Amino acid sequence: MLSNLSEVRPSRLASLPPKAIAPSVAAPRSPAAAVLSQELIAGFQAWPVWMVMGWDDIRQRYRRSVLGPFWITMSMGVFILVLSIIYSRLFHTRLEVYMPFLTAGYIVWGFISASTNEACNVFQESGRIIKQIKLPYSVYVMRVVCRNFIVFLHTIVIYVPVAIYFKVVPTPMSLLAVAGLLLVVVNQIWLTIVIGIFSTRYRDITPIVATAIQLLIFATPIMWMVGSARSLQLVADFNPAYHLIELVRAPFLGMAPQPLSWIVGIGMAIIGWGLAAALLVRTARRIVYWV
């Protein structure tokens, strides 16, 4: 978790060109379009800002550490190894089948759960910057998603030796993992916006989200397989986290994700971005008073 990180150093922002910090956007016609242009479009255009902030968060978190972020890789690798040996016997599943399944699913889940938990403090942890510098709020959202995606890139290397050892052969379907991962990131951005706004206004949201994440890991087929039981299949089908994970895990295992997973992932993106845009339009001028 990186939720207690210190603020990004002002010198890092000062080194960026002015257009990166405050990119110019075309003048919109309506107030709602103006807010979306200033808070979303301008935020995505300011990608050097949130990339620097996200990377600086990682550096500050692991300063004076020899291995840096690879400590997360090592700890997760040991966790997956131990869990695979124990749970494969509990579930009477062959290790060569269970370990690649658990590795791919748990790594994707790590990105989703960490980003969701840290979304509760997305504006609060940048409160000093928000009160001093006018930046699009989406910059702080992308900061959280970016730094967790960097951690994801460090941990995804765990799957490589697992796939090699258990001879998981890549297929043309494996390329769908890129599209699935992109859809996961798109959904994670709007979810961070929504949770960030609600948790900034109502501080009770933070423990609620933390509890929901703890429960969701047991209700999601990450450590257990769906199998042939109809009751378990229903739990998976009504679980949006399962479909997002399956969009990446299935291609890693050489299979194509189910059409239902694509439908759920795309549907969540459309509905979620509509909700996030509406919340930004309504609360953009109030967030600075809530942090």
- Asked if the structure places residue 1 within a domain, the reply is no
- pLDDT value at 74 more than 90: no
Boundaries of domain holding 52: 32-290
Distances (CA, A) of 100 to 49, 151, 175, 261: 36, 19, 17, 20
- Asked if the structure places residue 265 within a domain, the reply is yes
- Asked if the structure places residue 102 within a domain, the reply is yes
- pLDDT value at 265 more than 70: yes
- Asked if the structure places residue 7 within a domain, the reply is no
What is the tens place of the pLDDT at every residue in 126-152? 888 898 888 899 999 999 999 999 999
From the list 181, 176, 193, the residue with the least C-alpha distance to 115 is 193
Distances (CA, A) of 99 to 80, 102, 186: 8, 5, 28
Q: Which residues of 169-203 are buried (b: 16+ CB within 10 A; e: fewer)?
A: eeeeebebbeebbebbbbbbbbbbbbbbbbbbeee
Q: Number of folded domains in the chain? A: 1
Provide the pLDDT for residue 3. Answer: 41
Of 37-41, 61-65, 142-146, least confident by mean pLDDT is: 61-65
The pTM (predicted TM-score) of the whole model is 0.86
Across the range 42-53, mean pLDDT stands at: 90
Beta carbons of 195 and 209 less than 8 angstroms apart: yes
Provide the pLDDT for residue 5. Answer: 41
Provide the pLDDT for residue 2. Answer: 40
The per-residue pLDDT of the chain, averaged, comes to 87
What is the tens place of the pLDDT at every residue in 230-257? 678 888 889 999 999 999 999 999 999 9
Contacts of 73 (CB under 8 A, 6+ apart): 154, 155, 157, 158
